Amino acid sequence: MNKMEIMRKIEQEEIVIIQEEVKVDFDNRQQSPIGFQWHNRHYEVLEVLTMSKDLCENLNYLVLTNKGIFKLILVKDNNQLTISKSKWVLNFQVMEDIAYPNKRVNAVIH
């Protein structure tokens, strides 16, 4: 799936909402997540597809992992402070297309 297809899926809400706090391994030098733990499984970040800030100044990362495409959000407790307690939230997973003979279906791959 290329970036345009991924963004189309997100716009058409072909996603699975997760909204769970997760533990993230973060590379401070590159300012990028390198992996996360979810349901006792490790997800390795292969590529950061997009990085942005939302209206609340939270950092949003759309990442390609070894087990699918996910959105991670770094949520700060106090956006007014430069340094503030924060947490990582696994926001959603993008559904992937799986081709079956004569059919195409969306599925969540773990």
CA 59 to CA 74: how far, in whole Å?
5
What is the pLDDT of the chain when averaged over all its residues? 88
**Distance between CA atoms of 50 and 32, rounded to whole angstroms?**
11
Please state the length of the chain. Answer: 110
- Residue 74: name the closest of 54, 48, 92, 49 by CA: 54
pTM: 0.84
Note down the domain range covering 81: 3-107
Based on the structure, what is the number of domains in the chain?
A: 1
Predicted pLDDT of residue 88: 97
How confident is the model at residue 10, as a pLDDT? 95
